[in-house]
Amino acid sequence: MGNPATSFQKRSGLLLVLILCLLLGLVACSDGNNSTVTTATSPGTQAQNPENAPAPVVGNITVPPGSNGFPYDCAKIFCFGLAQEPVGLLNSRFDPANLVDRPSLQISRQVYENLFEYKSPGMQYSYSALLKYAPVESDDGLSYTLRVGKGLQFSDTTPLNAEAIKFNFDRWSDPGNLYHKGDFQTYATYFGGFPGNLASVEANAADNTVRIRLKQPMGSLYQVLAMPQFAIVSPSAFNKVTGEFERNIGSGFYTIDKMEREPNKYVALRENRNYFVQRYAPNDPATPYVKSPTIVARVLKQNQDGLEELRRGTIGATDKIRPEQVSRAAQSPDLQLLDRKPLNLAFLGMDVTRPPFNNTSVRQAFAQAINLQDLIKEAYFDLGTPASVFLPPATLGQIDLHNPYAYDPDRARRLLDNAGYNATNPLRLDLWVLPVPRAYYPDPRKVADAIASDLSTVGVTVTVRDSKSWPDFNRDRQTGNLGFYMFGWQGQNGDPDEFLGEFFGKQRGEGGYENPILRGLIQQGLAQADLRNRREPYKEAQDIIYDQLPVIPLAYVKGVVALRSNVTGYAPSPNGIESWTAVQLMP
């Protein structure tokens, strides 16, 4: 039998350790490289907080009583309310090249840097802080030489140089690369497969330059490389044996400090002061450190109302807002609403290879039979604007010299009558509803019913069909099995090719529309690196679409970010993925 005193000391020591573990259970564990890796704690190991108990201290953070274990005071630090759980939070890995959901990209945007970035409030690219000079482009548009700034580091102090950038390109483009783990959906989409349009990438260590060679000219290159999926990740983030992405190591303004999924889902970001020391004089009071050293991205539950959480003070900003709430929220003195310029388009698609839509007059009649102003008011809660051309307002270099087709049911009837459709030969159609809500269709069925009602006034009988699943709907659309349907597009990088090239850049365009002149103009625009040389062919392309109406544009829809009135420095972006570096809370 052991010594009672020794046994008591052991039990006391164990009890002390258990208490400390409970209190410090939320504290992140350093990986030794200035980067923090955290794991979610199970509900059973969370410290309990009785309603009237004093608030325990977790690291440097006080857990307020009754907070259900959420260790941040959002009245004192900036907390953004995410509309859903980021995919990256599921496995604690925010690998930007394999992320597609907005909440994950909203977080990765703070942690990583790109070679290019978008200038708010639009989508015009600019050179990021990684590049020392403007790129040098070859006359044939196939070679781009980028000079990387010297002495740059990732947040774990590993070098951010030409070799590190080449590492990322190799990983994205080569399925045989050890570190090519994932589907790399965004790369495949914009480069046309693996390696797709990328011919080679060369790194010159002597002058710290990267040379990108393409197979075909790609005027959208800088816009594409500014997308958050093309952020530069440190080679040290990967397992050298398996090639798996293991650590969230970037060079951005923030590092990931903590991540939790139970009992609260959130990602806490901590200022990466190493970023500023590299780029500015560390002792200079003018060094532009971030306004908020700590930021938290907090996941709102499905049943939580974003605006209500703002009013309660549990978050400082959110884009989880129902369209019908916006007008009333705009009147609240405690809130401020910021607009994200529209980077989307809702349109009606038609099979233009078969009657009745192989007749341009019928398509024009439909465009003039739909009351877009009423549609915007009733189905879009005044968040949209009537669409005129195929490129939305936030698209780079958008030139819109057209007005939306005027609502004129009398002219629509005459056009239909001239095409042979009248009371003795009435037109009957099915309208297939987009099966899933989108920003450009907040309530697809409501939009469909409004369109059907308008067309009925000019003698067209429309039966609204909404029985298809999304996979079936999209497959039938692509194979030409939908005669009349709702569709739309949400841009990500703001390049005109993202819209024009996607729908009309191939031999067979949307709805079976074929126009070699249109296709040639789109290809001409993509082949030009200088935006000034791209504008004219894209303008002519939009003129053709406006006149021929292979699709009927309906609406551009803006996004909205709601903030508490004391939040400043928030710069909205049309793609919904903003930098939070200038955000701060005012007293």
Q: Are 586 and 114 in contact (CB under 8 A)?
A: no
Angle at 268 between CA 264 and CA 269, to 5 degrees: 170
User: What confidence tier does 284 reach under pLDDT thresholds 50, 70, 90?
Assistant: confident
HSE-up (13 A, CA, CB side) for residue 264 = 23
Domains of the chain, CATH where assigned:
22-90+252-340+562-585 (3.40.190.10), 113-237 (3.90.76.10), 344-557 (3.10.105.10)
Least confident of 36-40, 170-174, 533-537: 36-40
| Cβ-Cβ contacts under 8 Å for 357 (sequence gap 6 or more) | 350, 351, 363, 483, 484, 511
Top pLDDT among 8 and 236 is at: 236
* 32 vs 586: which has the higher pLDDT: 586
How many helices (H) and strands (E) in the chain?
17, 25
Torsion of CA 20, 22, 23, 28, to 10 degrees: 100
Closest Cα partner for 515 from 550, 476, 554?
A: 550
Distance (Å, whole) CA 168 – CA 98: 12
* pLDDT over threshold 70, residue 6: no
Name which of 146-160, 264-278, 361-375 the model is least confident about.
264-278
Q: Under DSSP, is residue 326 helix (H, G, I), strand (E, B) or coil? A: helix
Q: What is the pLDDT of residue 120?
A: 86
pLDDT tens column, 423-466: 999 999 999 999 999 999 999 999 999 999 999 999 999 999 99
**34-51 average pLDDT score:** 32
Q: pLDDT-derived band of residue 10, with 50, 70 and 90 as boundaries?
A: very low
**pLDDT > 90: percent of the chain:** 81
DSSP string for 174-205: -TTSTT--S--HHHHHHHTSSSTTEEEEEEET
Highest mean pLDDT: which of 63-72, 309-318, 523-532?
Answer: 309-318
35 vs 447: which has the higher pLDDT: 447
Residue identified by tokens 């701060």 is 584
* Mean model confidence pLDDT for the chain: 89
Q: pLDDT tens across 93-148, in order?
A: 999 999 999 999 999 999 999 999 999 899 999 999 999 899 999 999 999 999 99
Q: Is 118 exposed, middle or buried (0-12, 13-18, 19+ CB in 10 A)?
A: buried
529 vs 406, more confident: 406
| Contact yes or no for 316/74 (Cβ under 8 A) | yes
Given a contact cutoff of 8 angstroms between Cβ atoms, the answer to whether 260 and 71 are in contact is no
Question: What does residue 100 show for φ and ψ, rounded to 5 degrees?
Answer: -130, -20
Q: Is the pLDDT of residue 154 over 60?
A: yes
Between residues 4 and 49, the one the model is more confident about: 4
With contact defined as beta carbons under 8 Å apart, do 162 and 232 qualify? no
- Confidence bin at 529 (pLDDT 50/70/90): confident
Are the C-beta atoms of residues 431 and 485 closer than 8 Å to each other? yes
Query: What whole-number distance in Å separates Cα of residue 110 and Cα of residue 78?
Result: 14
161 with 208: CB under 8 angstroms? yes
Rounded-to-integer distance, Cα 268 and Cα 37, Å? 11
DSSP 264-285: S-EEEEEE-HHHHHHHS-TT-T
**Residue 313 pLDDT > 70:** yes
Peptide linkage before 356 cis (omega within 30 of 0): yes
For range 68-95, the mean pLDDT: 94
Task: State yes or no: pLDDT of 60 exceeds 90.
Answer: no
Quote the pLDDT of residue 240. Answer: 98
From residue 568, give the alpha-carbon distance in Å to each of 153, 466, 533.
30, 43, 38
Q: State both tokens at 447.
A: 């939009």
Question: What's the confidence (pLDDT) of residue 28?
Answer: 35
Distance CA 564, CA 307 (A): 9
For the stretch 198-253, pLDDT in tens is 999 999 999 999 999 999 999 999 999 999 999 999 999 999 999 999 999 999 99
Cα dihedral sign, 454-365-558-306: positive
Q: Which two tokens stand for residue 310?
A: 């703002």
Q: Decide if pLDDT at 67 tops 80.
A: no
CA distance 273 to 270: 9
Name which residue leads in pLDDT, 73 or 56.
73
Q: How does residue 279 score in pLDDT terms, banded at 50, 70 and 90?
A: confident
- Over residues 183-203, the pLDDT tens digits come to 999 999 999 999 999 999 999
- The β-bridge relationship of strands 384-386 and 136-137 is unpaired
Confidence of residue 334 (pLDDT cuts 50, 70, 90): very high
> pTM here?
0.87
Q: Please tell me the distance from the alpha carbon of residue 526 to that of residue 507, in angstroms, as a whole number.
A: 16
- Give me the residue label for tokens 């349907």: 485
pLDDT digits (tens, 9 = 90+) for 473-505: 999 999 999 999 999 999 999 999 999 999 999
CA within 13 Å, CB half, 536:
5
DSSP lists the bridge partners of residue 202 as 211
- pLDDT value of position 349: 98
Instruction: Please give the Cα distance from 428 to 356 (Å, whole number).
Output: 10
Q: Give 30's strand partners.
A: 36
Cα–Cα distance for residue pair 130/210, rounded to 1 Å: 12
- Sign of the C-alpha dihedral, residues 468, 472, 473, 476? negative
d(CA 505, CA 70): 50
